[in-house]
Chains A and B, each alone.
Chain A
Amino acid sequence: MEPFFLSSLISASVLSIFFLILDWRMALAAVSAVPLALIAFTYADRIAQRVTKAREESLRRTNSLIVEFIQGMPVIKVFNQVASRFLRFKETMRDFRDKNIRSVVSTTIPSMVLLTCTSLSVAVLLPLGLYFYFKDSLSLSTLVFFIIAAPSFSDSIAHYLFGYMHTKSPIGQAMKHISNILKEKPLHEPEADAELKCFDIVFVNVSFSYNGQPVLKDISFEIPEQSVTALVGASGAGKTTITNLIARFWDVSSGEVRIGGKSIRDLKLDRLLAYISMVFQEVILFNDTILENIRLGSKDATDEEVISAAKAARCHEFIEILPDGYNAMIGERGVNLSAGERQRISIARAILKDSPIIILDEATVYIDPENEKLIQDAITELTKNKTVLVIAHRLYTITSADQILVLDEGRIVERSPHEELLAANGLYNRFWEAQKASSGWKL
C-alpha cells in the first residue's frame, strides 16, 4: 500500500507541472481544492490515529488474554474460575470488536469529506475553463485536456491522502511498535569471546534492584569449582535472583559476578549459557518427540547419546514402555507425561548438555515421593564433578551441600555447612526446626 500511494503522489505532482506548463490559471483552478482536502485529511488523520491507537492497544490486550486464558486453563478449572475468567475473556473480545468498529466508523465521515474535497477541482475547472474559452483566452484543446486529466489528478490526490492515512494508522503503529522493540537496549555483549578453564562462581559486592526496590544488597560469596552450594531463605529473599544473575537474565545493578575469574559481562551470552544447565520446578517441553526434547540439550547428539542420557536420568524405563518409545510425541507442554517424568526428561536434557555449572531451582518441589527418589538419583548423575548451585525448600535434600547460604531480605545472614548452621542456632536452625515440626503435620 505504502509504495502505491507514493506512486499516486508522483502522478499528482507530475500532472500539476504539466498543468502549469499548459495554463497557469487552469492549473491553479485544478489544485484549488487541495488545501480543503489537506484540512479534511489533517482532521481525519487525527481521528484515525486516536482510534487506531486504542484499537492496537485493545489488540495487544486481546493477544495477552488469549495466551493467558489457554495456558492457565488447568488453574482456571481447578479453582473453578471458568465463569469469571470467561467473562473477562468476553469483555476483552467485546472491547476489541467495538474498537474495530469504532476505528472504521469514526473515520467514515472525515474520509467522505476528504474524498469530496479532492473531487471538487472538476467543479471549479469546468465553469472557469468555459469562461476563459469563450473569452478566447484558452484553446479548446487545453480545455479538453484539463477536463480529461482533472479527474485523474483528483484521483491521485485522494488515493495518496486516503492511502497514507489508512496505512499510517494500523501499519505505521505496528512498525513503530516493532522498531521500539528492535531499538531496545540489549544486555551488554563483549566484542571478543573468551573461553573458561575453571568454573568457580564469585559474587563481589553484588547489589540488584528491580523497579527501584532493592532485591540483593551488597552480597559477596564464592562457590568453589565442583562443589555444591545451597541457597536457603524465605520467598522473596533473593534466591532465584542470584541464579538469574549468574545466567545474565538480568545484569547486576552494582558489583560483579565472576566465573573462572572472569566477569560474566566479558563473556558472550551464548558462551555463558553453554556453561550453564538449569533445571527449574516448571519444566518447559515442546510438542515434539521425547528424543528431540532431550536432544535440545545438545543438538548434535546421536540417538545413542540421547538414550544414554535418558538412562542416567532414570527416564529410559518409562520411555521404553510408551507405544512409540523415544519417538512418542510429548504433547503440548508435555501434557502426555506426569510431572515427575517431565522433570526427569529435563534432567536428561541437562545431562546431555554436560555443562560444568548446574543450577537447580526447586527441581523436586512438586514431585511425589516415588518420583522424588528417582529424580534425586538423576540429579546425583547430573551433578557429578560439577559446580552446583541449588535452591531447595526441603532442607533435608541439601544437608550434604558443601556450603549453605542463608538469605534474608537480600542479604546473606549465614553461611556454613548444615551441621555448623544447626549449631549456630540462627535463622537456618529455625527453618530446620519449622520443617521438622511440619513433617509431623497430618489431617
Chain B
Amino acid sequence: MGMFRESFFLAGNNKNRLKFIFSLMALRGIVKILPLLILYLVVLELLSARVDLGKILVLTAILATAFFVINIWDHYLALSAMKLGHKLSYDIRISLSDKLRKLSLGFFSRRPTG
C-alpha cells in the first residue's frame, strides 16, 4: 500500500489520470477471467445430456470476441500507462528541479551528488 501512496503523492496534479489507469488495470483483472467462464459454459454444454453444437459455436464466437477485446484493452492500457509514465517522469523532473532551487545550500552539502 505504501508504494501506491507514494505513487499518488508523486503523481501530483495527475492523480485522477493515475486513478483512471489503476481502475482500468483493476477492470482488466476481471475481464481477463471472462474466457475461463466461457470455457466453463462450454464444458457444461459438452457434459450435458444433449449437446447443442449451435450453443457451443456461439460460445466459441463470444470467446474469440473476448480475446479480441482483451487484446485491444491490453494494448490501450499499455499505451496509456506508457504515456502517463512519461508525463509523470517529466513532471517529477520539473518538480525536482524546482524543489532543488528552493532548498538551502545545506541540503546539497549533506547529500552526495549521486
**When the two chains form their complex, are residues A186 and B112 in contact, meaning their CB atoms are under 8 A apart?**
no
The CA of A62 and the CA of B10, in the complex, are separated in Å by 25
**When the two chains form their complex, are residues B106 and A3 in contact, meaning their CB atoms are under 8 A apart?**
no
Residue on A nearest B25 in the bound complex, by CB: A3
Decide if B29 is an interface residue (CB 8 Å cutoff). yes
Choose among A3, A65, A175, A186 the residue with the greatest number of B CB atoms under 10 Å from its CB: A3
Decide if A263 is an interface residue (CB 8 Å cutoff). no
- A7, A15, A175: the one contacting B6 at CB < 8 Å is A175
Contacts known (A11-B29, A181-B96); A2 close to B114, Cβ less than 8 A: no
The CA of A148 and the CA of B21, in the complex, are separated in Å by 29
- B3, B30, B102, B103: the one contacting A168 at CB < 8 Å is B3
**Contact indicator per residue, chain A 209-223, by CB within 8 Å of chain B (1) or not (0):** 010000000000000
The CA of A269 and the CA of B100, in the complex, are separated in Å by 13
Chain B contacts of A184 at CB under 8 A? 99, 103, 107
- B103, B105, B106, B113: the one contacting A63 at CB < 8 Å is B113
**When the two chains form their complex, are residues A179 and B30 in contact, meaning their CB atoms are under 8 A apart?**
no
**When the two chains form their complex, are residues B105 and A249 in contact, meaning their CB atoms are under 8 A apart?**
yes
**When the two chains form their complex, are residues B47 and A10 in contact, meaning their CB atoms are under 8 A apart?**
no
**When the two chains form their complex, are residues B30 and A14 in contact, meaning their CB atoms are under 8 A apart?**
yes
Q: How far is the CB of B96 from chain A (nearest CB, A)?
A: 6
**When the two chains form their complex, are residues B96 and A67 in contact, meaning their CB atoms are under 8 A apart?**
no
Chain A contacts of B44 at CB under 8 A? 141
- B39, B43, B103: the one contacting A187 at CB < 8 Å is B103
Number of A interface residues, CB 8 Å?
Answer: 51
**Contact indicator per residue, chain A 140-171, by CB within 8 Å of chain B (1) or not (0):** 11001100110010001000000000011001
**When the two chains form their complex, are residues B114 and A59 in contact, meaning their CB atoms are under 8 A apart?**
yes
**When the two chains form their complex, are residues A175 and B29 in contact, meaning their CB atoms are under 8 A apart?**
no
- B29, B39, B102, B112: the one contacting A6 at CB < 8 Å is B29
Q: How far is the CB of A215 from chain B (nearest CB, A)?
A: 12
Number of B interface residues, CB 8 Å?
Answer: 42
Decide if A8 is an interface residue (CB 8 Å cutoff). yes
**When the two chains form their complex, are residues B22 and A3 in contact, meaning their CB atoms are under 8 A apart?**
yes
Decide if A318 is an interface residue (CB 8 Å cutoff). no
Which chain A residues in 64-78 approach chain B with CB under 8 Å?
64-68
Residue on B nearest A65 in the bound complex, by CB: B114
Chain B contacts of A60 at CB under 8 A? 112, 114
**When the two chains form their complex, are residues B3 and A167 in contact, meaning their CB atoms are under 8 A apart?**
yes
**When the two chains form their complex, are residues A4 and B25 in contact, meaning their CB atoms are under 8 A apart?**
yes
**When the two chains form their complex, are residues A11 and B114 in contact, meaning their CB atoms are under 8 A apart?**
no
Decide if A336 is an interface residue (CB 8 Å cutoff). no
Instruction: Please name 8 pairs of A and B residues whose Cβ atoms are closer than 8 Å in the assembled complex, sorted by A.
Output: A3-B81, A8-B29, A9-B29, A14-B29, A66-B114, A182-B10, A249-B105, A251-B104
Q: Chain A interface (Cβ within 8 Å of chain B)?
A: 2-4, 6-11, 13-15, 18, 59-68, 140-141, 144-145, 148-149, 152, 156, 167-168, 171-172, 175-176, 178-179, 181-182, 184, 186-187, 189, 210, 244, 249-251, 269
Q: Chain B interface (Cβ within 8 Å of chain A)?
A: 2-4, 6-7, 9-10, 21-22, 25-30, 32-33, 36-37, 39-40, 43-44, 47, 77, 81, 92, 95-96, 99-107, 109, 112-114
